Amino acid sequence: MSTGTNELRLHVARTREDLEDTVEAIRDKLDVKTHALRVWATFRRDLKATPGAFVLTAVVGTAVGAVVITSVVRERMRRG
C-alpha cells in the first residue's frame, strides 16, 4: 500500500475515534438518571462541607416566600 493510503486510513481511524468520543459525551449529557445522581452527590458533598450556607439559604428563601405570599393575599383581600 502507498503512503497516501496509509495516511488516509489513519485519518479515518482518528476521525472515527473522535466521533465515538462525541457520541459518548452526548449520551452522557442525555442520561437523566446519571445526571440526577451526580447533582445529588454534589449537593450532599456541599451540604456536608458548608451546612451553614444551606441553612441560611433555606431561611432567606422561606422569608422571601412568606413576604411574597403575604403580599399576594393582602392584595387579593384589598380588591375584595
pLDDT in tens, 5-49: 999 999 999 999 999 999 999 998 899 998 899 999 999 999 999
Measured between alpha carbons, how far is 31 from 37 in angstroms, rounded to an integer? 10
Give the DSSP letter of residue 1. -
Grid cell listed for 64: 422571601
The pLDDT of 1-7, averaged and rounded, is 82
Can you give the pLDDT at residue 4? 87
> Angle at the Cα of 5 (from 4 to 7), degrees rounded to 5?
65
What's the rounded Cα separation, in Å, for the pair 52 and 6?
61
Task: Give the model's pLDDT for residue 45.
Answer: 95
Whole-prediction pTM value? 0.47
> pLDDT tens, 39-78?
999 999 999 999 999 899 999 999 999 999 999 999 999 9
Report pLDDT for 19.
Answer: 96
